[in-house]
């Protein structure tokens, strides 16, 4: 299973980014292979609108099945994520990626 995190960096100890659509990076952890990859999402930072749905589509293309973030996606992005089957967990905005992963595994995050 691939788990995507909205982050401010590309490492396991990076701070989570509470934003979804304009997150700086996605760190994607493949649990089956025990491997990380990342995607630089800063190109949408200055988009006037549509950043959320674009980001949701990219997340789907990366093969993520789970999204862990801070505040959660907006309405349009949430619709795209729902249609693509990505499950969203919020409440990790003040954590590192490692802390967010542990919180997810221990059912400490909220599913939306």
What domains, with CATH codes, occur in the chain? 2-111 (3.30.420.130)
**CB-neighbour burial class of residue 62 (10 A; exposed 0-12, middle 13-18, buried 19+):** middle
Q: For the chain, where are the E strands, in sequence order?
A: 2-7, 25-30, 35-40, 66-68, 87-90, 110-111
Whether residue 53 is predicted with pLDDT greater than 80 in this model: the reply is: no
Query: 45 falls in which pLDDT band (50, 70, 90)?
Result: low
Whether residue 47 is predicted with pLDDT greater than 80 in this model: the reply is: no
Whether residue 65 is predicted with pLDDT greater than 80 in this model: the reply is: yes
Mean pLDDT score, 9-16: 95
Per-residue tokens: 64: 């993520």
pLDDT digits (tens, 9 = 90+) for 72-105: 888 888 998 999 999 999 999 999 999 999 999 9
Mean pLDDT score, 9-27: 91
Lowest mean pLDDT of 24-28, 47-51, 75-79, name the range: 47-51
């Amino acid at each position: 299973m691939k788990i995507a995190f909205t982050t401010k960096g590309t490492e396991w100890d990076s701070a989570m980014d509470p934003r979804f659509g304009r997150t700086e990076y996605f760190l994607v952890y493949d649990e089956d292979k025990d491997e990380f990859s990342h995607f630089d999402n800063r190109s949408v930072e200055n988009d006037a609108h549509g950043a959320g749905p674009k980001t949701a589509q990219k997340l789907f293309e990366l093969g993520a099945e789970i999204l862990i973030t801070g505040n959660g996606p907006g309405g349009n992005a949430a619709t795209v994520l729902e249609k693509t089957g990505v499950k969203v967990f919020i409440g990790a905005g003040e954590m590192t990626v490692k802390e967010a992963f542990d919180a997810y595994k221990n059912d400490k995050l909220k599913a939306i």
